[in-house]
Amino acid sequence: QVRLAESGGRLVQAGGSLRLSCAASGDTVGRKVMAWFRQAPGKDREFVAAISWGGLATYYTDSVKGRFTISRDNAANTVSLQMKDLQPEDTAIYYCAARRDASWTALVQEQLYLDWGQGTQVTVSS
């Protein structure tokens, strides 16, 4: 089991940028697909982005393509989400999640991610 801790969330104005970080401990994330999800107030948690264990493949939900970039540093056991051109609809709690394997399928299904962080709040003001 891997323990995940997100950081970097804060209040930012529309059009601004943020970089979220996810630090893993307890187990390496080196052979696991990692992802970011988010949950806006009153809404279900939704998939944002995923990255393959080697970092060569990424996948994004349509609403963040071209604005968000997911990356990882397996040596440092971290995953990051660089966000630019933030909009009020990006306001949410952002969660880091880990699969238990390297399978690059069904990436948006949160049930397949078994380890989760506590989340970090991102608020975008208009």
Q: Give CA–CA dist 21/119, Å, rounded.
A: 11
Question: Measuring CA to CA, how many Å separate 31 from each of 15, 26, 80, 89?
Answer: 35, 14, 16, 32
Backbone φ and ψ for 23, nearest 5 degrees, come out as: -100, 130
Q: Which amino acid is at 82?
A: Q
Work out the number of other CB atoms within 10 angstroms of the CB of residue 104: 14
Per-residue pLDDT of the chain (126 residues; tens, 9 = 90+): 889 999 999 999 999 999 999 999 887 777 899 999 999 999 999 999 999 999 999 999 999 999 999 999 999 999 999 999 999 999 999 999 999 888 899 999 999 999 999 999 999 999
